[in-house]
Amino acid sequence: MNRWTRFAGALALCVACSPAFAKMDIFACLPEWAALATELGGDKVSVYQASNALQDPHHIEARPSLVAHMRGADLAICTGAELEIGWLPVLLKTAGNTKVQPGQPGFISAADFVDRLEVPTRLDRADGDVHPAGNPHIQLDPHNIAKVGLVLTQRLEQIDGANAAYYEARSKDFQGRWQQAISRWEKEAAPLKGLRVVPYHKDSVYLINWLGMVEVMNVEPKPGIPPSAGHLSELVGRLKGGAADVIVRSAYQDPKAATSLAAMTNLPAVELPYTVGGTPGAKDLFGLFDDSIARLKAVKK
């Protein structure tokens, strides 16, 4: 083998290993962001989902496997607004990956790019697990998904410029289909306007607000605090007077309290997927809203 043959072989190896030929590694804290990254990144990205729909997003263990994936990530997308405060800072610090630290192009805190609801005017631990930056469960308003999608597309193009046109085309296609779906969902969900809802936790706020429903009370006495028998008895007294139409809980929550309250008040109890994978029908982002609306509409029949 002469030197020119060796040089050509080395050059080919170098080109094959260049970023333009390697998939971008994306670390997604939650299922909704993994689904969005897959929609926008296509076959140019490899997406690692750090949690599943049946896990409480507030309480994920920063396992060694998560650290390893964060260490190798080119981009990390999480909700922020302190939703992952119990595990994400530890994960970022332990991984030591400078590309995905807050403030870098490789880190997206989705809640920074939407209008957050329930931003508290005061902070007091006596009020329960209140998030200082507002309610972080932003994914249940599809308009928020669209906004975060535009940010994610811009970051993909910034980090992987060689495939910018590819990401732009996928973004345009997704946004088009998504806006059509929003129009359809809003028409289908019109009968839900004014529906009086009792969620287990304050994680349905964006869905309730988007669809014009009304949150009358919560099964939890305060955010993050499980209901006691005494609190459930108090709720029974309030709900027997016809104050609500339906009790809802997310798939990751223990069904016992909501089921018991429904039995004692003769109100229907509905399980909502909360995120992608929460129910069999919520297989992707589109299914998340299709299934959520269908489950709520079933109550109205």
Considering only 122-126, 205-209, 257-261, 268-272, which range has the smallest mean pLDDT? 122-126
Q: State the burial class of residue 3 (Cβ atoms within 10 Å of its Cβ: 0-12, 13-18, 19+).
A: exposed
How many other β-carbons are positioned within 10 Å of the β-carbon of residue 160?
21
Q: d(Cα 129, Cα 165) in Å, to the nearest integer?
A: 43
| Rounded average pLDDT over 129-148 | 91
More confident residue, 231 or 3: 231
| Rounded average pLDDT over 114-121 | 91
Residue 133 has pLDDT above 90, yes or no: no
- Please provide the average confidence, as pLDDT, over all residues in the chain: 91
| Rounded average pLDDT over 129-147 | 91
Do 165 and 273 contact (CB within 8 A), yes or no? no
Q: d(Cα 48, Cα 74) in Å, to the nearest integer?
A: 11
pLDDT, one tens digit per residue, over 57-85 is 999 999 999 999 999 999 999 999 999 99
Q: Do domains 18-184 and 189-300 have the same CATH topology?
A: yes
**Confidence band for 2, pLDDT divided at 50, 70 and 90:** low
Q: What are the residue boundaries of the structural domains of the chain, listed by start? A: 18-184, 189-300
Architecture per CATH, 18-184 = 3-Layer(aba) Sandwich (3.40)
Residue 117 has pLDDT above 60, yes or no: yes
Residue 39 has pLDDT above 80, yes or no: yes
Q: d(Cα 28, Cα 44) in Å, to the nearest integer?
A: 15
Residue 9 has pLDDT above 80, yes or no: no
pLDDT, one tens digit per residue, over 12-31 is 444 444 445 489 999 999 99
Question: Which CATH superfamily hosts domain 189-300?
Answer: Nitrogenase molybdenum iron protein domain (3.40.50.1980)
Residue 11 has pLDDT above 80, yes or no: no
**Confidence band for 240, pLDDT divided at 50, 70 and 90:** confident
pLDDT on residue 242: 87
